[in-house]
Amino acid sequence: VFAGDGDRPYEPGDPCAPRTVYGKSKLAGEQAVLAICAEAWVVRTAWLYSPSTNSFLDTMIRLERERSTLSVVDDQYGSPTLAVDLAEALEELARLVAHGNGPRERLLHCTGAGATTWFGFARAIFEEVGADPERIRPCTTSDFPRPAPRPAYSVLSNDAWGAAGLTPMAPWRAALQRCLPRQRSMEVA
């Protein structure tokens, strides 16, 4: 929903300027929900991954086995967010709302704390699985053209989440470390 050309984490109230149909439709959906339902909250997240889906994490683990080197984009910034952490955070928000203590702000951001690039995330995955991170080479977005442009900067600020009395999200790297044992156990099953 943001332009993607920022240089600091986006706050929920920052001006929106989506550049793609996908971003425009997301923004329209948010606005409709907030306008129609006074008892609704919109939570934005980004770079979601899980050990049980076809996510960036799974792709990197698969490619680590299949290729001697790989190139990963190093000019797009975001905050990797572990799906189970997001689910727990949303459950906490739902409990507050159910008890009549919902946050005053109805638009919040909830992502893994901190930021990295896809290249940085890939290297961290390799490090955590015991693979040589030097096998990953940085490249630019222009090296991998996509049908829809990707934002260079999609880091969302979690400040409003914490200010609403909700538990801050764990740093993205710590979440990755917790996730990988689950990933390995799913591969064995």
Per-residue pLDDT of the chain (189 residues; tens, 9 = 90+): 999 999 999 999 999 999 999 999 999 999 999 999 999 999 999 999 998 778 999 999 999 999 999 999 999 999 999 999 999 999 999 999 999 999 999 999 999 999 999 999 999 999 999 999 999 999 999 998 888 788 999 999 999 999 999 999 999 999 999 998 755 544 544
pLDDT score at 147: 81
Amino acid, res. 187: E
Bridge partner residues of 73 (DSSP): 139
pLDDT score at 189: 45
* Domain range list for the chain: 21-188
Long-range residue pairs from 136-141, CB within 8 A, at least 24 positions apart, any chain: 136/69, 136/70, 136/71, 136/72, 137/69, 137/70, 137/71, 137/72, 138/71, 138/72, 138/73, 138/74, 139/71, 139/72, 139/73, 139/74, 140/73, 140/74, 140/75, 141/73, 141/75, 141/76
pLDDT score at 184: 53
Residue 115, judged by CB atoms within 10 A of its CB (0-12, 13-18, 19+), counts as buried
Q: Where are the beta strands (DSSP E) in the chain?
A: 42-44, 48-49, 70-73, 77-78, 81-82, 107-109, 116-117, 136-139
Q: Is the pTM of this model over 0.75?
A: yes
Report the catalytic residues: 22
Of the candidate CATH numbers 3.20.20.70, 3.40.50.720, 3.90.1300.10, 1.10.540.10, the domain formed by 21-188 belongs to 3.40.50.720
pLDDT score at 145: 81
